[in-house]
Homo-oligomer: A and B are copies of this chain.
């Protein structure tokens, strides 16, 4: 982002309020690079639309960001992602408006089966691409920044050094990441299909449990998983009660369903200058829990019925 901004002599950047620079980097964009951030999108719980991007690209040239970051998929929104045709349109809008488009593709490996296209078809819509080598690939730690702009890459290497990194010292994790890449690449279609089947089985197994106004106690965002990672929500229960039910199921059935949950869906954590739409008082009171989880090589072979059995047991303990 810094490099694109410097090239444009424009320190404005834009992303969705639930993107990685907002949630995991302690305001590095401002504290380290003095970038000025604005949010794109009209909902804190949905990824930006083409129309949302158009609002930005139609600003006067001296008010536009130098670069827009898209997180593909968006982790904090349960791996919601963009339809491919929307991406094509967003890319076209940005190029026409002279805005660089940066891909936070930390989970690009995981989301590629959703698009059923080569990685290159996705990458070429962006000016620069970040991909993670751990997460789904299960390397130790590490990532790759890619661009077809050689001068950009040379400048990125200079900034890597300035920020305390150095390729020469990365060899232990690179070796491990190559191993992990070779083990896991090509496995994400199967893991996604498995996640879809497991989610459907859990919804089916818990469908008799609803709130007083008829909403399901257990639900997924997105409703149909986009990849092997998803959010599972449990309505109307505190973290403590849910943890107690989980422990009881683990004791009785030997099934460990999840490690811990968070209040959902972050409404109270959102930046104050964000327009809260669909505000849910239950969420603010911590009465709606969720957890983030994935199908990995560790759980992909567990039968769908086992997942369903565990969840049914938990909601039975809580609500029967």
Contact = CB atoms under 8 A, between A and B. Distances in A.
Interface string A142-154: 0000000000000
Contacts of A176: 172
A53 B158 CA distance: 32
Interface string A140-177: 11000000000000000010011111000110110010
A25 interface: yes
A163 B164 contact: yes
Contact of A25 (B26, B28, B161, B172): B161
A26 B164 contact: no
A29 to B, nearest CB: 9
A172 B28 contact: no
Given A32-B32, A173-B172, A26 B141 contact: no
Interface in A227-253: none
27 contacts: A25-B161, A25-B162, A26-B158, A26-B161, A26-B162, A27-B162, A28-B161, A28-B162, A28-B163, A28-B164, A31-B162, A32-B32, A32-B162, A32-B163, A134-B169, A140-B169, A140-B172, A141-B169, A141-B170, A141-B172, A163-B163, A163-B164, A164-B164, A164-B165, A172-B172, A172-B173, A172-B176
- 8 tightest A-B CB contacts, nearest first: A141-B169, A28-B162, A163-B163, A26-B161, A26-B162, A140-B172, A32-B162, A163-B164
